[in-house]
Homo-oligomer: A and B are copies of this chain.
């Protein structure tokens, strides 16, 4: 074991803040658990899993329930959220096809602290806690993958937290849209289509504001020609402009 004294570091700081491209590169990869899985692992996973179906609005699990399963979303969309004491719904994130959820409480043991609710008809694989644990112990590579997923979540949540503290509402909305489009958007030339229907209320719940404020921020963005919205789906017309709104100013 080497002993090393590190000199006081009042080093020049000022690393550039993460921008959309950076976020995309680090976020897209680890989020899709099933896709990262080799076919042999996938088969093994199927062996210990149960297929379950949920309709729009159904809860996969609720806060307070024992966290007895890990879930993999095969199709559909699931919303992970928490209720504030006042009954306000706070959305932590959405899960899309291929993603894992419910992992944290299984690793930690203890009950759920969040709710998982299907936003549309969804098919999930449910794997009992102990089986999944065994599975990971036998396949260390998968344990690493799980850690990556947790780490990504942690990073995203940390970023959301910082945004919430530091930015005003319009900046938060802009950043949310950029984050979502980096992960789930389809890029067509300079434009980006975000094929996820979102109500103003949901955006408000993700960003920590009131519905009315979201309405006004969005109409301001439309007026500036930054984006348009069709049938609840956001269509970014000028990503550059949107980026400017989040960075400087």
B154 near A4 (CB under 8 angstroms)?
A: no
Contact of A158 among B46, B113, B141, B202 (CB under 8 A): B113
Residues on the B chain within 8 Å of A17, using CB = 85
B161 near A161 (CB under 8 angstroms)?
A: yes
Q: Which A residues between 148 and 173 are near B, CB-CB below 8 angstroms?
A: 148, 150-155, 157-162, 164-167
Decide: A151 near B151, CB < 8 A? Known: A65-B15, A114-B158, A137-B141. no
Q: Which residue of B lies closest to A55 (CB)?
A: B8
A157 near B158 (CB under 8 angstroms)?
A: yes
Chain B proximity of A16: nearest CB distance (Å): 7
Question: Whole-angstrom distance between the alpha carbons of A58 and B5 in the complex?
Answer: 12
Q: Which A residues between 70 and 94 are near B, CB-CB below 8 angstroms?
A: 82-90, 92
Chain B proximity of A163: nearest CB distance (Å): 8
Q: Identify which of A5, A87, A103 gathers the most chain B CB atoms within 10 Å of its CB.
A: A5
Contact of A107 among B57, B88, B148, B199 (CB under 8 A): B148
Residues on the B chain within 8 Å of A146, using CB = 147
Chain A interface, >50% SS class: mixed
Contact of A2 among B6, B25, B57, B161 (CB under 8 A): B57
Q: Which residue of B lies closest to A117 (CB)?
A: B1
Q: Verify if A183 is at the interface (C-beta below 8 Å from B).
A: no
Q: Which residue of B lies closest to A248 (CB)?
A: B85
A51 near B87 (CB under 8 angstroms)?
A: no
Contact of A1 among B56, B140, B166 (CB under 8 A): B56
Contact of A108 among B13, B85, B88, B152 (CB under 8 A): B152
Can you give 9 A-B contacts (C-beta < 8 A)?
Answer: A1-B51, A4-B51, A15-B62, A26-B109, A90-B161, A105-B151, A133-B144, A157-B158, A164-B164
